[in-house]
Chain A
Amino acid sequence: MNTFALRVQNLSIVFGGLKAVTDLDLEIPKGSIFGLIGPNGAGKTTIFNMLTGVYTPTSGTIIHGQSGTSLGGLKPYEITRTGIARTFQNIRLFKNLTVLDNLLVAMDQNPTQKKFGLIPTLLRSKSLMTAEDAKKNDALNILKIFKLDGRAKEISSALPYGDQRRLEIARAIATGARTLLLDEPAAGMNAHETSSLMDTIRDIRATFNATVLLIEHDMKLVMGICERIAVLDYGVKIAEGIPSDIQKNPRVIEAYLGKAATSEHVKK
């Protein structure tokens, strides 16, 4: 068993003439909460898109710690089934489905889940109904962690914004994945919601033995829960280390905090 959840080597991607990510090396320790930060347009979401197979890297390799195999050439749904799931910067819930159904879609794809063919589906066989009930139970248990179990029957688009973001995380867990990629999970949340989100992220790491790689602009959250942080600027990793070192790193301050934000972000 590897000690890393994900290992990225020499990863690059070019869009037309734009080098969005250049020669990225990254190792996400298993069980860690790892922060990926950088100014707007630095290439953070692009990295997630490569990790999840949405974009094909121009060069480089991505190795999944759990299986030790390369993720190169796998389709997005295959990567999810190997145990890596994500959330989206612009929330992408199944809007007209209930909160519960959002989770069930993900849960159906969990490789450990028993699959049923057309005939048992049409006849509603006993074992199918039992499996459905068990699935619903599991889904409600995940929702409980996010305090969303009371809203299981509501249409997901009716949830408040913060809850929608949390539901996306719940849905990622429901796939069975234990490496979670969260793209700006606190975006649009108020301070109270953000701090409760921090607790939830710690919670799920403990409960599910998960590894969390997160992109975030909220420095309080990043510095508060990440054990390690990598900083990206113009597609290049300019620093990596523990939060206190990152905060002191002059290159980071110049590239990222240095702009308008030095005082504003550090104050927080």
Chain B
Amino acid sequence: MAPSGSNNEQSGQTGIMSLRWWIVGIGIVWLLNAWLPELISPYFFQIIVLAGINVILSVSLNLVNGFTGQFSMGHAGFMSVGGYLSAFITTSLVASHPELMNDPVAGVVIFAISLIMGGIAATAVGYIVGLPSLRLRGDYLAIVTLGFGEIIRVIFLNTNAVGGARGLSGITKFTTFGAVYTAALITVFCIWRVVHSAHGRILVSIREDEIASTAMGVNTTEGKVRAFAMGAFFAGVAGGLFAHYLTTLNPGTFDFNRSFEVIIMVVLGGMGSISGSVVAAIMLTVLKEALRPLQQLTGVDLRMVIYSLVLIIMMLARPKGIFGTSEICDLFREKLSRRGKHPDGGSA
């Protein structure tokens, strides 16, 4: 039940969270990558790609908002740092060495490196934003990250190297199903393991009671900043994937609405539930695309209205989100044991 603690899983090397299964998962993703685009319509393909990116965003924000209990509203800002930097790297390289493009392996390597660089840049910015604001207790982080999102937008608006108000265009469409879902699997895996470790226990203790946590010897500022920086890293990677899928970027791409969407995913799925974030990210991506025709029909953007409605209904029906702080597997286990069966399938 508890969101943290390695006692959820007695041994780390077996079960669904073992490294082996995740490598198999990535293998399957690349097998699918070859023919998925031909199997399904571009419309569904787009939904699947965007859902994968949103999974990365919501799971990484959950580390900060759900597990550590700090309210960040700046995820879009970190996306834009990662998105702009990685797009800048690949476009500059493609411009200066067009021959690289003929080599698919070189393309993948350059893209992977640019994504990681984008993530690292976002992490660095995360430290700069997080260090002063996470020292303080209370809601400062929400205010600072809100401001940060705006500041970063204005900075890109006024930076000619990345196109200023026009933005960056002609970005190579490196983002594939395989790239998105490899990144998503790695994100979920890393955050799962961190949360279910001594580091994760520290984060959850800060959420539970910061004063008690310090009294137990926890350097709470360090813990919060680390979680925040790690969340920023994955947001930066997601930004890079998004940029190389859209192929154009402008300062408005990562506005506050993006941050808000991700927050809704985290709240909806359950603060402190990784599987909740995954499910909510997929649900909301589908919902958003399903609402697009409605928007075209009525001519008004109803998405925010419907998001808000979904949130209100959620707050009334399940105030702790779909899964609360539990994981999907915990819920299955509970259901099974309530039916009197042994969770490990002991009975006939």
Contact = CB atoms under 8 A, between A and B. Distances in A.
Contact of A101 (B4, B12, B190): B4
Contacts of A155: 1-2
B199 A105 contact: no
Interface string A99-111: 0110011101110
A121 B216 contact: no
Given A93-B209, A122-B190, A122-B193, A105 B218 contact: yes
A124 B13 CA distance: 8
B4 A97 contact: yes
Interface in B253-303: none
Given A122-B194, A129-B11, A155-B1, A104 B216 contact: no
Interface residues of A, number: 40
**Chain B interface mostly:** helix
B215 A52 contact: yes
A122 B22 CA distance: 12
Contacts of B219: 75, 77
Given A95-B208, A121-B193, A124-B12, A100 B7 contact: yes
A223 B297 CA distance: 80
A184 to B, nearest CB: 15
Given A94-B204, A95-B208, A104 B217 contact: no
Given A101-B2, A132-B198, A77 B217 contact: yes
Interface string A155-173: 1000000000000000110
B19 interface: yes
B83 interface: no
Interface string B1-38: 11111110001110000010000000000000000000
Interface stretch (A20-28, A64-72, A79-87, A243-251): A79-87
B116 to A, nearest CB: 15
A88 interface: yes
Interface residues of B, number: 35
B198 A116 contact: yes
B169 interface: no
A235 to B, nearest CB: 23
Interface in B206-261: 208-209, 211-220
A241 interface: no
B333 interface: no
A105 B1 contact: no
Given A132-B6, A171-B216, A121 B208 contact: no
Contacts, number: 115
A211 interface: no
B213 A105 contact: yes
B212 A85 contact: no
Contacts of B208: 93-97
Contacts of A122: 189-190, 193-194
Contacts of B19: 123-124
Contacts of A124: 12-13, 19, 193
A153 B190 contact: no
B212 A92 contact: yes
Contacts of A106: 216-217
B217 A80 contact: yes
Contacts of B5: 97-98, 100-101, 104
A31 interface: no
Nearest to B192: A122
B212 A153 contact: no
B9 to A, nearest CB: 10
A175 interface: yes
Contacts of B325: 96
Nearest to B1: A155
A80 B215 contact: yes
Given A105-B218, A175-B217, A96 B194 contact: no
A228 to B, nearest CB: 25
Given A77-B218, A80-B216, A153 B194 contact: no
Contact of B202 (A52, A86, A96, A105): A105
B197 interface: yes
Contacts of A175: 216-217
A52 B211 CA distance: 11
A136 interface: yes
Given A92-B212, A97-B5, A97-B204, 5 more contacts: A85-B216, A85-B217, A105-B201, A122-B193, A175-B216
7 contacts: A75-B214, A93-B212, A94-B209, A98-B2, A98-B5, A109-B218, A122-B194
Which 9 residue pairs are nearest across A and B when measured between Cβ atoms? A109-B217, A124-B12, A80-B217, A94-B208, A92-B212, A101-B5, A106-B216, A105-B205, A76-B214
